[in-house]
Amino acid sequence: MKKTYKIDVDCANCANKMEAAANKTEGVKNASVNFMTLKMTVEFEDGSDPKAVMREVLKSCKRVEDDCEIFI
Amino acid sequence: MNKKQKKMLVRITASALLLIGLSFVPSEGLLRFALYLIPYLVIGYDILIKAAKGIKNRQIFDENFLMAVATVGAIAIAVTRNGDYTEAIAVMLFYQIGELFQSYAVGKSRRNISELMDIRPDHANIEVGGRLEQVDPDEVEPGTVIVVRPGEKIPIDGVVTEGSSSLNTSALTGESLPREVGEGGEVISGCINMTGLLKIRTTKEFGESTVSKILDLVENASSRKSRSEAFISKFARIYTPVVCALALALAVLPPLAMLAMGAPGGWGEWIYRALTFLVISCPCALVISIPLSFFAGLGGASRAGVLIKGSNFIETLSKTKCAVFDKTGTLTQGVFEVNGIHHNELEDEMLIEYAALAESASSHPISRSLLRAYGKTPDRSRVGNVREISGSGVIAEVDGSEVAAGNAKLMEHIGVEYKSCHSAGTIIHIAIDKKYAGHVVISDVVKPGSAGAVRALRDMGVKRIVMLTGDLRSAAEKTAAELGIDETYSGLLPAGKVDKVEELLASGQDGGKLAFVGDGINDAPVLSRADVGIAMGAMGSDAAIEAADVVLMDDDPAKIVTAIKISRRCLRIVYENIWFAIGVKLICLALGALGIANMWLAVFADVGVMIIAVLNAIRALFVKKMNG
């Protein structure tokens, strides 16, 4: 399953950091952050709960870049 | 400016005013320290918090950490030495100004791009009981008739059933010339209806419509990173710890060496140099400006009607040394027209009529162009007993006589002597009751921009231009000569095109990339095999658009030249920034280590370089109107 979320982040490099962090999160098959449109597209592993996974993704993103937000 | 930025502006102003005010207040010792701490905390508290959080989360070496260490260190030195806190605060102040500037510049260019890509329609009008009702485009079923008023966007792909108008396609294609449509014309979503009321019967769902496809493509564009970006993030990961280690060495080793030699250590001086070193070293200019350049490059390109699926393709595209074109539909219109009728024993119209009737059952492009030339709806009742001879043509009974229409093989098959033709194109020989009646020449028409595009590609250093086609050699060579292409491979089946491209890839020079330009359904495998696959015309096949790396919104071959120019410019900006930033930093680092540079120079090396690099990166957004 694939879902797109709106995000808020200040710099292009921070967006890259968020993307790397999201990709390392369990339950995420592939994540990509588009700094241009401020959107994060997440492809979930089969059988995972997107809501729970996204909470984890937000946590890992906050860890690498404090000043970011994902509108889940 | 958004809320965050306004808040930052207030903090910067407050801190700067405080700093200026304090310079007129004579104070000493602890009081002075406490007074100067106010502007410092006003401007830098978030950096300190972020640095602390970074340490807690084991993300130590980032720019917040560098700034925190450098400014806290500078304050510590000021406490012990001269009580000059201005430097530490100024460093933080300028750093924040730089950050604010960068965030403003990014927001501005983002708005610029999103305004131009603002093609998402918010509603569709459906007529219900004589009244117009606005509905969500997602809910409109294919086959529904929607109404588009002047000034509105066409929400869903479809066919005009009533009305005529001119459409503004510039948001999609970058083309400013309006397109005229009338009854029966196909329209794509995302265009703006300018003059007349249109009734459109939708042919697709909203999710399958052009506008959704394009938005989807743009929104996923940055998922593929270029090598330069990967290089920079790797570089930053190694660079920051190395610089920190060097700064530490600079602070500790020289004083220790001095002490060992019996001289006074001069700790303050060396720590000051080390801190200067840290401020200079901040890699912000690079880590911010490189992704920003690509971001602006992708945006600028989509503005010109060139959709690039990722920054890695900007990189590949800029290194194109070999361009491979599909012929039909790419360099040529892909519309076959009857271009000549020779050796006919009957009147031209009669010959076409017989040929069209005989071929009327077939959906082959050739028979369609015959029907177009005939211009009337064929009366199928006059045709009977149709036999298709695969790969040769058809034999059918028309008005009681046996009509054979097809290629030379068919004529040989039925034993009719035919006259061969010297014109390039597809030749349809026609025999009536086993008597030769003449032949019709059908050929494709070259697009007006093709020859110019080929010439422009050569001028910009694309060394090898190759044309692949499934057509016969004579037709292929005629087109090639017309366009100035010197390498042509004809008679290729789809699989053969893949093989050819692989051969060309293998024989390619080092570093030079191969771009394949195509449009058709059967081009999809080749598009994905090439280094960079360019699909033409958003109205081309969906499969081709999916397999391609670069999508040209309209099918003008000149757009390929534009695409390569944009990519080269973007890459040039990226390299300018890399060399400029690293160059200035290295010089300043050396000066700092030697003690020539002070904090003020360090601030320039950090913030000044960043601002220049960001401004340079934004340049990639502005694509000049480029022709040919």
Is the pLDDT reported for residue B538 higher than 70?
no
Q: Angle of helix B227-260 relative to helix B558-594, nearest 10 degrees?
A: 10
Report the C-alpha gap between B102 and A11 in whole angstroms. Answer: 8
**Residue B437 and residue B420 share a domain:** yes
Q: What is the pLDDT of residue B522?
A: 67
Task: Name the more confident of B278 and B226.
Answer: B278
**Structural domain includes residue B203:** yes
**Structural domain includes residue B320:** no
Identify whether the C-beta of residue B125 lies closer than 8 Å to the C-beta of residue B148. yes
Is the pLDDT reported for residue B296 higher than 90?
no
**Structural domain includes residue B545:** no
Beta-carbon count within 10 A of B180 CB: 11
Q: Please say whether the dihedral angle defined by the alpha carbons of residues B44, B46, B52 and B57, taken in this order, is positive or negative.
A: negative
DSSP B320: E
Strand B550-552 with B306-308, pairing: antiparallel
**Residue B89 and residue B20 share a domain:** yes
B382 touches chain A (CB under 8 A): no
**Structural domain includes residue B616:** no
Identify whether the C-beta of residue B422 lies closer than 8 Å to the C-beta of residue B434. no
DSSP B330: I
**Number of domains comprising chain A:** 1
What residues in A contact B4, CB-CB < 8 Å? 10
B113 touches chain A (CB under 8 A): yes
**Residue B12 and residue B69 share a domain:** yes
B348 tagged catalytic: no
> Which stretches of B194-235 are assigned E, i.e. beta strand?
198-202
Least confident of B331-345, B401-415, B567-581: B331-345
Is the pLDDT reported for residue B176 higher than 70?
no
DSSP string, B431-465: EETTEEEEEEEEEEEE-TTHHHHHHHHHHTT--EE
Query: Mean per-residue pLDDT for B315-327?
Result: 89
Report the C-alpha gap between B339 and B626 in whole angstroms. Answer: 34
Boundary of a domain, candidates B99, B118, B137: B118
Which of helix, strand or coil describes residue B128? strand
Q: Using 50 as the pLDDT threshold, list the residues of chain A that sit under it.
A: none
Task: Name the more confident of B392 and B35.
Answer: B35
Q: Among candidates B163, B168, B82, which has minimal Cα distance to B127?
A: B163
**Residue B3 and residue B113 share a domain:** yes
Is the pLDDT reported for residue B150 higher than 90?
no
Q: Among candidates B157, B160, B162, which has minimal Cα distance to B203?
A: B157
**Residue B358 and residue B434 share a domain:** yes
The fraction of chain B above a pLDDT of 90, given in percent, is 10
Enter the tokens of residue B153: 């966007």
**Structural domain includes residue B376:** yes
Q: Among candidates B310, B319, B291, which has minimal Cα distance to B618?
A: B291
Instruction: Say which residues have a Cβ less than 8 Å from residue B189's Cβ, sequence separation at least 6.
Output: B121, B153, B154, B155, B156, B157, B206, B209, B210, B211, B212
**Structural domain includes residue B241:** no
Identify whether the C-beta of residue B298 lies closer than 8 Å to the C-beta of residue B221. yes
CATH number (domain holding residue B351): 3.40.1110.10
Query: Mean per-residue pLDDT for B116-123?
Result: 73
Q: Among candidates B69, B68, B75, B77, which has minimal Cα distance to B96?
A: B68
CATH number (domain holding residue A33): 3.30.70.100
Mean pLDDT of chain B: 82
**Structural domain includes residue B581:** no
- Domain with B373, as residue range(s), is 334-445
Identify whether the C-beta of residue B530 lies closer than 8 Å to the C-beta of residue B514. yes
* CB-nearest partner of B291 from A16, A32, A66: A16
**Residue B157 and residue B86 share a domain:** no
Catalytic residue among B157, B326, B519, B531: B326
Query: Mean per-residue pLDDT for B387-411?
Result: 83
Q: What is the pLDDT of residue B520?
A: 61
**Number of domains comprising chain B:** 3
Boundary of a domain, candidates B118, B141, B165: B118
Is the pLDDT reported for residue B628 higher than 50?
no
What residues in A contact B298, CB-CB < 8 Å? 36
Is the pLDDT reported for residue B306 higher than 70?
yes
What's the pLDDT band for B627 if we cut at 50, 70, 90? very low
- Domain with A38, as residue range(s), is 2-71
Q: Among candidates B239, B253, B248, which has minimal Cα distance to B275?
A: B248
Least confident of A39-43, B106-110, B242-246, B299-303: B106-110
Identify whether the C-beta of residue B570 lies closer than 8 Å to the C-beta of residue B318. yes
CATH number (domain holding residue B185): 2.70.150.10
The fraction of chain B above a pLDDT of 70, given in percent, is 92
Boundary of a domain, candidates B382, B414, B445: B445
Q: What is the pLDDT of residue B116?
A: 60
B298 touches chain A (CB under 8 A): yes
**Residue B104 and residue B43 share a domain:** yes
What's the pLDDT band for B185 if we cut at 50, 70, 90? confident
Q: What is the pLDDT of residue B626?
A: 46
Least confident of B150-164, B544-558, B605-619: B544-558
**Residue B103 and residue B207 share a domain:** no
Q: What is the pLDDT of residue B189?
A: 84
What residues in A contact B221, CB-CB < 8 Å? 34, 36
**Structural domain includes residue B129:** yes
Distance, C-alpha B266 to centroid of its chain: 56
Residue pLDDT, tens place only, B468-491: 887 778 778 888 888 888 889 988
**Residue B201 and residue B89 share a domain:** no
